[in-house]
Chains A and B, each alone.
Chain A
Amino acid sequence: MNPKLVIRIVAILLIVISAFMLLPVIVALYYEEYDSIAPFIGTLLGTVIVAMTAVGLTASERKQLGTRDGFLMVTLSWLTAAGVGAIPFYLSGSIPRYVDAFFETMSGFSTTGATILTDIEALPYSMLFWRSLTHWLGGMGIIVLTVAIFPILGVGGLQLLKAEVPGPSVDKITPKITETAKTLWLIYLGLTVAQTVLLMLGGLSLFEGLTHTFGTLATGGFHPKNASVGHYGSTYINVVTTVFMLMAGVNFILYFKTLTGRFRAVTGDTEVKAYLGIFFVTALGTSLALWRQGAYSGLLESLEHGAFQVASILTTTGYVTDDFSLWPPLAQTFLLLLMFFGGCSGSTGGGVKIVRIVTLAKLAVTEMKYLLHPRGVFGVRLSGVPIRESVVHAVAGFIVLYIMSLLVITLVIGSSGADLVSSFSTALATLGNIGPGFGLVGAAENYAHFPDYIKWFLSLVMMMGRLEIFTVLILITPRFWKP
């Protein structure tokens, strides 16, 4: 263990994050919200002073970072980022209680999009901008994390995509981690610019375009309007957002491969095929259910809303165009089932991740083959490449852990007096980083009504879900702290 180096790295990260607070300051200047400037500058200065001290105290340490340090570093990064990011909300009085501010910020950095705000539009522009920016930073962090750091720690779905064949690893797109990270940031930035421009062409202001984009690409769900995307009632905006939500749910490495002309790697990717397959089938099913009920005028409008909501829940974004708790039961069932799935590995989406679902489904098929040929030899293949048995077991282990966590979380939420549907869908929506659920946390509701201990607890659940559960849970095992 090398706690000094961990503290040093986390401190540097906090300096970077607080530097981003200069952006909402610019927004405040533009919209003449001079009251909001002091909380941001104050937090920025305070953080920099404390962090610089920490950096100074931990100087000249050995540079070796072990696997255990990695787990600690990642978890501490998210915890402290939320802790610091919540301060401007609290100081400015936009969110008067710190527990609420912490929940909101953790929801932002974990790209969940669950909110405790009852009237979002009452907040100043600068605060709303910061709120959405936490999504964008969290999304960027998670991509770099899954591609560059999780594989080293052995968690996350991406090691599944690593070919179990000799030769250079398929998914190391450049030889160095820093290069890989830089490339992915550029892709993320490019997508951000593209969506913002497209949204502004649809009539949104730069502020709305940016915040809307931050929530989309990070598969977050914070929106500066009370009615979320439904505020605009524009087919154009809905379609653009649907497409970009889907794009944010795809493994970002595939964009790199597309850019470098390796289309075969993209078209042959089992996960993306399954992801798009699940999207098209459930979007069609949901839309037909809506159409049959006559909830919308005609098939096209049903398709528009059905596809949007399915993309939103599948990618764990959590945007809404309409209150889906009023939708026909079949459409709601589709959405509930989708809450288990999540995006692709290496994307900003949360949830179980498609690659794990596919692996487990293939394992089930393999088991059936073993029933027919007891002495046969069969394996699970992804994208045509055989997957090692131990990796398949790790996936099964993850999914069991995910389901057990869901049950425990449901119980804890139930202790606050919430009904079964609300408790269970809250567990799904927070652990899967989705945002809205059903019942008390439905599309038109929020998380404000939960007691404080539930809010603290759910903040941790969101972080746990974001960091692939293992990363956080391993910190509470006694074995972790034994040298």
Chain B
Amino acid sequence: MKIVIGGAGVVGLQIARQLIAEKKDIVLIEIDGDQARYAGERLDCMVINGAVNNISVLRQAGLDNADYFIAVTGSDEINMISCAMVAQHFPTLYKVARIRNIEYSESIYQHGGFMGVDWVVTPEIETAQAVIRSIEHGATSDVMVFQHSDVQIRSFTIDAESTLVERTLEEAGSLIPIPFLVVVILRGDTYIIPSGDTRVEKGDVLYVVTTRRGLDHLFDALGKHRRELRRIILVGGGRVAVEILSHLYAGNHGTVFDSQPPGRQPARRRDPDVKVIERDKAKSRQIADLFPKAVVINADIGDDELFEEEHLDLADVIVATTEDQELNIVTAVYAKSRGIPRAIVLVGKANYIKIAANLGIDASVSLKNATVDSVLRFIRGRSSVSTVYSIFDGTVEVIELPVNEHCKAAGKRIRDLPLPKNSLVVAVIRNGEHLIPRGDLEVHAADQVIAIARSTDIDRIQRLFTVPA
């Protein structure tokens, strides 16, 4: 499969890196000479130094035999126009564009193929959705939800009060009366695919698979008591914050508790009690005008008196979304020390996600990851994968995919599957029911399989389940 990526910025490079790991042919187009050289030196792909919106450069990139064109330059307009040019000259390609300006969003979402773009990535919206998902699930962790079942993967930071500290996973399994599976543990800079006798340490981040129903027990056992998050503090009034606010006040989000018995309609919830702290006066005014129900405070979050003045420590969760990621982390840590039980931060750099987890911040979302995940989801979606999450800066991915009737895996027991090293089938969903993938479970056609693997092995897993033998 050949993919042409326009723009070798942070996002372009990350997408290229993950796709190269899957043995895809990548061509990068970058206008900046230094950046192009940097990409060429570090990535195993072709790099063209030229303008993305130049048809001869596009031809040179070999679009005539490519499958995807992904425009992720810094400019919305260049992204759209290059997609339009590609659409005109190479109509069979799938075209993906990153568009950040919300002014365009109405035309994009209403008219489908706007300017020939097949898939629009709006990082702020994706990020806001990640934050909302986290808030709705109690902001205890990062949340991965899947399309075909109520199975979730959650990350849990183990703190000192947790009953699991210094226990093996086997002991943990007997302590907690519901089925769950720890699929991967993040410890410091490394990650471990655990076995039954792996011992949990303080500061570990556990990625756990379970159903919604089982969560409450887990939360108790892990020392995190679930609470309704009604009083929300939003630090920063940027575009991510605006998207979060419009979700919060749209009324279309369910309850904060996700342990609703299935089938029962969630009760119509009261509007959340949101305080927005924004330093810039004009921005504050803009948000106050857009969201009359929110209390907008024009102040610096670094101002210590603000906590007393606005009783910020009574909040249930603080969401730091300023453009300054260090400030976000510091704010979240300080807020937690003042007694705010949950904190979510917006970060940019990948290693900051680990740092944030180590500092006890409950969940971190990243604009870059949201963008990359969205692009990958589209590309995989073309080949029947429905959900993609990348973790550990894209070195590990979680995918959801259907089992093909004639594939190699159909009818085999899990222990007999030729799975790549360090990969794991974490859940099998049959007729909407979640099955624990023990070694003797047979994989049937039409099952949905959720698997975790290194990025480099994703392609093999995909072939194993979806390509007819």
Contact = CB atoms under 8 A, between A and B. Distances in A.
| Chains A and B are bound partners | yes
Interface of A: 369, 373-379, 381, 386
A373 B276 CA distance: 12
Interface in B255-311: 281, 284-285, 287-289, 292, 295-299, 306, 309-310
B285 A377 contact: yes
Nearest to B310: A373
24 contacts: A369-B295, A373-B295, A373-B297, A373-B310, A375-B297, A375-B298, A375-B299, A375-B306, A375-B309, A377-B281, A377-B284, A377-B285, A377-B287, A377-B288, A377-B297, A377-B298, A378-B288, A378-B296, A379-B288, A379-B289, A379-B292, A381-B292, A386-B289, A386-B292
A377 B291 CA distance: 11
Interface of B: 281, 284-285, 287-289, 292, 295-299, 306, 309-310
Contacts of A374: 309
A376 B298 contact: yes
Contacts of A369: 295
Contacts of B288: 377-379, 386
For A374, A376, A381, the residue with the greatest tally of chain B CB atoms inside 10 Å of its CB is A376
B438 to A, nearest CB: 56
A379 B285 contact: yes
Contacts of A381: 292
Contacts of B281: 377
A377 B292 contact: no
Contacts of A377: 281, 284-285, 287-288, 296-298
For A373, A377, A378, A379, the residue with the greatest tally of chain B CB atoms inside 10 Å of its CB is A377
B314 to A, nearest CB: 14
Nearest to B237: A377
Contact of A376 (B289, B292, B295): B295
Contacts of A379: 285, 288-289, 292
Contacts of A378: 288, 296
Given A377-B297, A379-B288, A379-B289, 15 more contacts: A369-B295, A373-B295, A373-B297, A373-B309, A373-B310, A374-B309, A375-B297, A375-B299, A375-B306, A375-B309, A377-B284, A377-B285, A378-B296, A386-B288, A386-B292
A378 B289 CA distance: 8
A376 B287 CA distance: 11
A22 B297 CA distance: 65
A375 B299 CA distance: 6
Contacts of B298: 375-377
Contacts of B287: 377
A169 B298 CA distance: 30
A476 to B, nearest CB: 37
Nearest to B288: A377
Contacts of B285: 377, 379
> Considering the complex of A and B, which 6 residue pairs feature the smallest CB-CB distances, nearest first?
A386-B289, A377-B284, A377-B296, A377-B288, A375-B299, A377-B298
A369 B281 CA distance: 17
A296 B285 CA distance: 54
A369 B288 CA distance: 13
Nearest to B306: A375
B294 to A, nearest CB: 10
B305 to A, nearest CB: 10
Nearest to B300: A375
A386 B306 CA distance: 26
A373 B277 CA distance: 12
For A374, A375, A379, the residue with the greatest tally of chain B CB atoms inside 10 Å of its CB is A375
A381 B291 CA distance: 11
For B289, B297, B310, the residue with the greatest tally of chain A CB atoms inside 10 Å of its CB is B289
Nearest to A369: B295
Contacts of A376: 295-298
A376 B292 CA distance: 12
Contacts of A386: 288-289, 292
A170 to B, nearest CB: 16
B101 to A, nearest CB: 15
B274 to A, nearest CB: 13
A374 B297 CA distance: 8
A268 to B, nearest CB: 14
Contacts of A375: 297-299, 306, 309
B67 to A, nearest CB: 41
Contacts of B306: 375
Contacts of B295: 369, 373, 376
B279 to A, nearest CB: 11
Contacts of B284: 377
B335 to A, nearest CB: 18
